[in-house]
Amino acid sequence: MADFPWLSRSPLEHALVVGAHGARDVAPGISLTEVRNFDLIQVMARRGKGAELANAAKARFGMAAPDLPKAVSASDVTLIWSGPDQFLVLSKGGKHTIDILSQAFSQSASLSDQSHARALISVSGAKARAMLAKLSSLDLHPAAFKNGAAAATSIDHTSVNLWRGNDRPDGQPVFNLLVFTSFAESLWRTMLDSAAEYGVDIGYSGELA
C-alpha cells in the first residue's frame, strides 16, 4: 500500500518568492512576511455561556479575552476578537493547542482548530498603510486604528482577520492578516500588485511578530 506522507506545507509555498519585488530604485517601503507553523484555535461561546467563557479565558490566559475589536497579547499567546462572544487564539510551540484548550473551555465554548486552515501574513513598513488603503475600506490611520486594534473585514472580496501588532523596532507599523488558506495565494498576489510601486521585501518566518 502506498505510504501517504502528511507534511505541513504553506499555502503560499509556490506564490512566495523570497527577495525583492516591484520598484528597485527605492528602499523597500513594504515588508511582506508569511508566518508559518502556528497554532490557531477559534473559540466561540455556547448559547448563554458568554460570561462563563470570559471567566474561563481569564483563568487560562491570565488576561481578559477581547470583547471589542481588539487583539491582546501575553508572552506566549495573542487573542484576536473575531465577532461577538468569539475570538481566535494564536500561539506557537504547542502551548495552546486544541487538546489543551478544549479542557479549559469544555463548559463554555465550542472550539475549532484553524492552525492549518489559515495563512498568516504580516504587512509592515512605511508604505504598508498606503498599500492596504488600495484594498481595504477601513480607516487604518494610526489615530483610528491603534496598536492592538482588530477587525473582521473583507479585502478583495476575501474575508480576513486584520489586526495591528506592535510597531517594528524602526517604528514602522505592522498589520497582521489571517486569511483562509484557499484564498491566501489570490490575496497574496493582489497585495504584491498593490505593493509593487513601493518596493517590497518578501520573506517568511517561523516566529510570530
Partner 1 sequence: MRIVCPFCGERELGEFTYLGDAKPLRPAAGTSEDDVFDYVYLRDNVAGAMSEHWYHGGGCRAWLKITRNTLTHEISSVEPAAGVGARQVAK
Binding residue for partner 1 (CB under 8 A) from 16, 53, 140, 195?
Answer: 53
Only one of the segments 43-51, 99-107, 120-128, 183-191 lies at the binding site for partner 1 (rule: CB under 8 A); that segment is 43-51
- Binding footprint of partner 1, residue count (CB under 8 A): 21
Residue 64 touching partner 1 (CB under 8 A): no
Cα separation values, 201 from 28, 88, 195, Å: 6, 28, 10
Under rule CB under 8 A, residue 66 binds partner 1? no
Residue closer to partner 1 (CB basis): 19 or 84: 84
Q: Cα 74 from chain centroid? A: 16
Cell reading at 144: 483610528
For partner 1, the binding residue among 47, 75, 94, 170 (CB under 8 A) is: 47
Q: Is 40 in the site for partner 1 (CB under 8 A)?
A: no
89 binds partner 1 (CB under 8 A): no
Task: For residue 97, state whether it binds partner 1 (rule: CB under 8 A).
Answer: no
Q: Which of 159, 166, 182, 205 binds partner 1 (CB under 8 A)?
A: 159
Which listed range, 31-39, 122-130, 154-162, 176-184, lies at the site for partner 1 (CB under 8 A)? 154-162
Q: Give the DSSP letter string of 131-187.
A: HHHTT--S---TTTS-TTBEEEEEETTEEEEEEE-PPPTTS--EEEEEEEHHHHHHH
CA dist list (Å): 65 to 80, 83, 85, 137, 167 = 8, 12, 9, 26, 22
CB of 52 to partner 1, least distance (A): 9
Element (H, E) at 46: none
Strands 200-205, 30-35: pairing is parallel
152 in contact with partner 1 (CB under 8 A): yes
Q: Decide if residue 187 touches partner 1 (CB under 8 A).
A: no
Q: Is 153 in the site for partner 1 (CB under 8 A)?
A: yes
Which residue in the set 82, 91, 122, 176 belongs to the binding site for partner 1 (CB under 8 A)? 82
**Edge-to-edge strands of the sheet including 109-113?**
71-74, 77-83, 86-91, 39-45, 109-113
Residue in 45, 137, 35, 39 with CA at minimum distance from that of residue 82? 45
Please give the helix or strand (H or E) that residue 188 lies within, else none: helix 181-195
Contacts with partner 1 by CB under 8 A lie at 44-51, 53, 69, 82-85, 137, 151-154, 157, 159
